[in-house]
């Protein structure tokens, strides 16, 4: 494709110095292939402008930058990130225009809600692709998401949407993180339905304040106005029980559909009941009503199920069809996943990595555990430090014993991270030795938790969930939480 066509719709500060054939897009100079156009992006720790010469040496035939650079065809822009997103959509011939696109954002529950929504849409006859933290899906084939991020860069997002279109999918469900919205990775994606699960506090290392975090998430609802109506209307699906609901309702460039357990929600969940093996409730909207059963643990999954039912309803699916689909829902790897290896205590693997999510899961397990609740968790390095003592406080209030361990220490001192979490436990009156201990090595931490567990206890392994690596300063270490748990349980019984 000609560079001028790749950059169609991108405001340029000066005419192109040359119009050349471009075979691909790159934003990492180390991954440039001959014929690529390289986008010099200012990141959180690196400035891509510094690496322009390296990109050219590797075969880049064009450069998009915010400041002058010589040697190849040059496009000067005000915002390289936005230019990359628009170029990626151009290169893939705007695949989102051929799909009904459902975007799901929120602090907690995004991945589960995406999977539930996909299950419902599929059951309703809409061949549906999916892009989530855990899995990517196109043409009915699901594979693990290879990235360690929820929403990848625009080049990958648009390529995945193109895969879905080429595979015959009619809908796309896209887990849309606050990172992606702030860093413009989904500019050029024409959403039809925007869904909010909830908003607490997360990723303040990027957003700065909770208010800015909310505003970044609200961009998804504003983006409903960016593309034409594809025949189903534009709908913002908002959790009416979330304290931030009004902000998202007001941000929606389209119709609004609220859901929740309160009387003000348009789609309500009533008569909620938890029994072994699942949750049941009645979903009611105007003259529609359906009894819903979801074979999953956790009352919080009622909100996830309601969000999925509402999203599918915005595409035209009845509550009855949605309820029938949810009865078959198989769950998500690393989300309240039970580990059974013949042990005499419960083991749960979950992705909870915020104070609110950890408190929710621990509260659920506290209610259903006759013995002690033991939790193994940490907090990611180079990320929001403010949540660490809050997570420790949640563990002190709701668990009987906590073992603090690595999550993804990255470039931070692993022991310093654990001490910041421990400060929250201490504030709540928990003391080291009697209520918690620090074991940085995650495998050893899990082994110690299993060794101290007695019949009737529950061990929660929180924070890693489905992830397949532990990120350290020296690189990614392969990791599979569920597999490690099963192996250690077998060793314990040998």
pLDDT 10s digits, 124-155: 999 999 999 889 999 999 998 876 566 789 99
pLDDT 10s digits, 411-427: 999 999 999 999 999 99
The two beta strands, 436-438 and 24-26, are unpaired
pLDDT at residue 169, as a whole number: 98
The two beta strands, 469-472 and 373-377, are unpaired
Number of CB atoms found within 10 A of residue 126's CB? 18
Domains of the chain with bracketed CATH: 3-91 (3.40.1390.10), 95-326 (3.40.1190.10), 337-493 (3.90.190.20)
Q: Per-residue pLDDT averaged across 192-204, rounded?
A: 81
Structure tokens at 245: 């609901």
The two beta strands, 401-404 and 373-377, are parallel
**Helix 442-452, helix 481-493: angle, nearest 10:** 40
pLDDT 10s digits, 8-51: 999 999 999 999 999 999 999 999 999 999 999 998 778 999 99
- Residue 64, burial from CB neighbour count under 10 angstroms (0-12, 13-18, 19+): buried
Task: Calculate the alpha carbon distances from 15 to 4, 73, 75, 76 in Å.
Answer: 10, 11, 7, 8
Q: Per-residue pLDDT averaged across 395-400, rounded?
A: 97
pLDDT 10s digits, 307-319: 999 999 999 999 9
pLDDT at residue 149, as a whole number: 62
pLDDT at residue 435, as a whole number: 98
User: Nearest to residue 134, comparing CAs of 113, 107, 163?
Assistant: 113
pLDDT at residue 376, as a whole number: 98
- The mean-pLDDT minimum among 190-204, 224-238, 248-262, 468-482 falls in 190-204
pLDDT at residue 150, as a whole number: 63
pLDDT at residue 211, as a whole number: 82
pLDDT 10s digits, 263-298: 889 999 999 998 767 899 999 998 899 999 999 887
pLDDT at residue 144, as a whole number: 86
pLDDT at residue 209, as a whole number: 74
d(CA 445, CA 67): 49
d(CA 251, CA 257): 13
Band of residue 203 on the pLDDT scale cut at 50, 70, 90? very low
Residue, of 199 and 377, whose pLDDT is higher:
377
Sign of CA dihedral 126, 108, 281, 265: negative
Is pLDDT above 60 for 73? yes
pTM as predicted: 0.85
pLDDT 10s digits, 336-358: 899 999 999 999 999 998 898 89
Number of CB atoms found within 10 A of residue 473's CB? 12
Residue, of 240 and 364, whose pLDDT is higher:
240
User: Nearest to residue 406, comparing CAs of 467, 330, 345, 348?
Assistant: 467
User: Nearest to residue 472, comparing CAs of 389, 347, 380?
Assistant: 380
CB 252 within 8 A of CB 218: no
pLDDT at residue 310, as a whole number: 98
pLDDT at residue 147, as a whole number: 67
Is pLDDT above 50 for 207? no
- Residue 385, burial from CB neighbour count under 10 angstroms (0-12, 13-18, 19+): middle
Task: Write the DSSP string, 345-375.
Answer: SEEEEE---SHHHHHHHHHHHHHH-SS-EEE
Q: Is 130 left (phi over 0), alpha (psi -120 to 50) or beta?
A: beta
Is pLDDT above 90 for 262? no
pLDDT at residue 201, as a whole number: 55
Is pLDDT above 80 for 455? yes
Average pLDDT, the chain: 93
Q: Per-residue pLDDT averaged across 201-206, rounded?
A: 50
d(CA 310, CA 113): 11
Is pLDDT above 70 for 205? no
Q: Per-residue pLDDT averaged across 76-86, rounded?
A: 96
CB 284 within 8 A of CB 163: no
């Amino acid at each position: 494709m000609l560079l001028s066509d790749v950059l169609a719709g991108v405001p340029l500060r000066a005419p192109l110095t040359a119009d050349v054939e471009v075979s691909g897009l790159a934003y990492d100079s180390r991954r440039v292939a001959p014929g690529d156009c390289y986008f010099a992006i200012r990141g959180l720790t690196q400035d891509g402008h510094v690496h322009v010469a390296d990109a050219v040496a590797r075969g880049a035939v064009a450069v998009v930058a915010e400041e002058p650079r010589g040697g190849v065809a040059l496009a000067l822009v005000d915002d390289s990130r936005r230019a990359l997103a628009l170029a990626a959509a151009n290169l893939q011939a705007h695949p989102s225009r051929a799909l009904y696109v459902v975007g799901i954002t929120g602090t907690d529950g995004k991945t589960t809600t995406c999977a539930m929504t996909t299950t419902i849409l599929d059951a309703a006859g809409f061949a549906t692709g999916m892009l989530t933290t855990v899995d990517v899906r196109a043409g009915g084939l699901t594979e693990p998401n290879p990235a360690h991020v929820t929403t990848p860069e625009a080049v990958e997002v648009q390529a995945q949407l193109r895969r879905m279109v080429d595979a015959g999918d009619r809908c796309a469900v896209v887990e849309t993180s606050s990172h992606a919205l702030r860093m413009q990775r989904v500019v050029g994606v024409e959403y039809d339905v925007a869904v909010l699960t909830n908003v607490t506090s997360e990723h303040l290392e990027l957003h700065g304040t909770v208010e800015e975090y909310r505003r970044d998430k609200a961009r998804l609802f504003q983006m409903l106005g960016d593309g034409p109506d594809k025949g189903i209307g534009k709908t913002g699906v908002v959790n009416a029980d979330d304290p931030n609901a009004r902000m998202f309702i007001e941000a929606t460039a389209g119709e609004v559909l609220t859901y929740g357990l309160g009387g003000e929600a348009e789609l309500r969940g009533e008569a909620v009941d938890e029994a072994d093996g699942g949750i049941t409730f009645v979903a009611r909207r105007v003259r529609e009503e359906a009894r819903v059963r979801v074979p999953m643990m956790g009352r919080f999954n009622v909100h996830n199920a309601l969000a999925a039912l509402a999203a599918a309803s915005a595409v035209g699916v009845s509550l009855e069809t949605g309820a029938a689909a949810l009865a078959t829902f198989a769950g998500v790897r690393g989300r309240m996943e039970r580990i059974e290896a013949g042990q005499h205590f419960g083991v749960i693997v979950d992705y909870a990595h915020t104070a609110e999510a950890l408190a929710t899961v621990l509260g659920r397990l506290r209610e259903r555990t006759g013995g002690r609740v033991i939790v193994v968790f940490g907090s990611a390095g180079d990320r929001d430090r403010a949540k660490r003592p809050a997570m420790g406080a949640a563990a002190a209030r709701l668990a009987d014993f906590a073992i603090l361990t690595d999550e993804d220490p990255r470039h931070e001192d692993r022991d310093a991270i654990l001490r910041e979490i421990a400060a929250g436990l201490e504030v709540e009156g928990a003391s080291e030795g009697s209520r918690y201990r620090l074991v940085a090595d995650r495998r050893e931490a899990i082994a110690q938790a299993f060794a101290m567990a007695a019949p009737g206890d529950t061990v929660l392994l929180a924070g890693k969930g489905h992830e397949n690596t532990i990120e350290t300063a020296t690189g990614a270490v392969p990791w599979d939480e569920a597999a490690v748990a099963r192996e250690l349980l077998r060793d314990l019984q040998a």
